Amino acid sequence: MSKILKIPGRLYPVEIFYTLEAEKNYIKVVIRTVYDIHMNEEEVLPLYSSLPSIQQQKIFEPAPGPRFIGDKKGRKCILATNIAETSITIDGIVYVIDPGFSKQKVYNPRARVESLLIAPISKASAQQRAGRAGRTKPGKCFRLYTEKCYEEILPEQTYPEILRSNLGSVVLNLKKLGIDDLVHFDFIDPPAPETLMRALEQLNYLEALDDEGELTTTGHLMSEFPVDPQLAKVLVEAPNFLCSNEILTIAAMLSVPYCFLRPKIKGNEADDMKARFLHLDGDHLTLLNVFHAFMKCTLLDPNTSKKFCYDYFLNHRAMTSAQNVRNQLLKIMEKLKLKLVSNHPSHPDYYINIRKALLKGYYQQVAYKTSKGYYITVKDVQIVTLHPSTVFQINPEWVIYHELLLTSKNFLRTVTKIDGKWLLEIAKNYYSLEDLPNSEAKNQLRAILKRMS
């Protein structure tokens, strides 16, 4: 048996405060608690993962001085996501207000939907949050939930990520290692059998596994890329569509945080700058335009890249990360001897080929615009909505999407226009009319098939 060692992280005592009753409106309670701690004006700073690095640095600056001679020093208030639990340590934190919730991604294998849900934290997370105080002096943690809730309702540990994630990449890597009996594999936290079966089914559709569950030649190539299987499939297929370099760029941009920034006080200005990169066929090609513009600026003068990102409301860290990811993916393609071929941008099929290559990996993620104006997923007939961040000025009839997020609605995020007949050319077996549920999308595919024959 292995021994478990606990290493205390905090250096000073932290007093814990609970509410007397469960709270109905946590926002109001947070504001009230802040005022209870300190009634004077304070400097309020946000902290989240996609915040530009220049603004993130502000949280490490000393608290403001006194407003008037003889007054006490000012106070700094930081509103943070759970990035502040473990990722960073901020000197001088004395008070922590813990609402008891966090946003978590949860994957539904049956609906193939990744949802962003607000869920209660675990006791371990609560302890981490309290530990943000008491690093350099005694601190206090105000928990916006009762002690009974902490003791009886909060789980001991955060739900393991493997139990709430798409297992496509995990299964592909296990197959690469020669592990075939996934049902009896000794997972630390065994996932649900349905999640495993969905992952195997997805890999079979992507031609990474054959009907016996064995890794195919395509699967071996896909397993070398540190991206999700659908994106790996696109990278492997890109040479066949003469767009290797473009797909490398798009894959890199999809692998880093969202590059567009939209400060509330400059929302319209940010939208105008984003429109300069807009491609009418959708978000993937818009990301391609952004990267090309960034690289053009960087190659002309590397010292101007930060200013370029500032002027165009782009996340500089995301752009430089995309540059690094692209170089990594490029080396893998060269190692696998996948051809680096591309048409000239003036070629009439230049953008068509890129969209077809994307469809090779994402043909299971297609939506159709009905006569009533809303979208439905073709295979599951779920009603979905294009995310507000999409660039379309006129919503197209058929789209592929990078991800489906359930927040207030079922949102399709990172969306690109396709032609319905491509589904019958590229994924004819998957879109067999006999297997599709009745819907407007099925009727439209039937009409397309009739025109093609």
Q: In sequence order, which ranges of 90-216 are alpha helices (DSSP H)?
A: 123-130, 147-152, 168-176, 193-205
- Per DSSP, the chain holds a count of helices (H) and strands (E) of 17, 12
Q: What is this structure's pTM?
A: 0.83
Six token digits for residue 38: 């300190």
Tell me which H or E stretch contains 291. Answer: helix 283-300
User: How much of the chain exceeds pLDDT 70, in percent?
Assistant: 94
Closest CA to 222 of 232, 209, 214: 232
For the stretch 331-342, pLDDT in tens is 999 999 999 999
Q: From its phi and psi, is residue 381 left (phi > 0), alpha (psi between -120 and 50) or beta?
A: left
Number of CB atoms found within 10 A of residue 283's CB: 27
Tell me which H or E stretch contains 18. Answer: strand 14-18
For the stretch 379-406, pLDDT in tens is 889 999 999 999 998 899 999 999 888 7
The predicted model gives 18-35 an average pLDDT of 85
Q: Is 379 helix (H, G, I), strand (E, B) or coil?
A: coil
Q: How much is the pLDDT for 420?
A: 95
State the span(s) of the chain assigned CATH 3.40.50.300: 14-103+118-159
CA distance 81 to 46: 9
Pairing assessment for the beta strands 398-406 and 410-418 based on DSSP bridges: antiparallel
Average pLDDT, the chain: 89
The predicted model gives 39-59 an average pLDDT of 75
CA distance 306 to 314: 9
Residue 274 makes CB contacts below 8 A (sequence gap 6+) with 260, 312, 313, 391
14-103+118-159: CATH class: alpha beta
Top pLDDT among 70 and 349 is at 349
Six token digits for residue 6: 């606990």
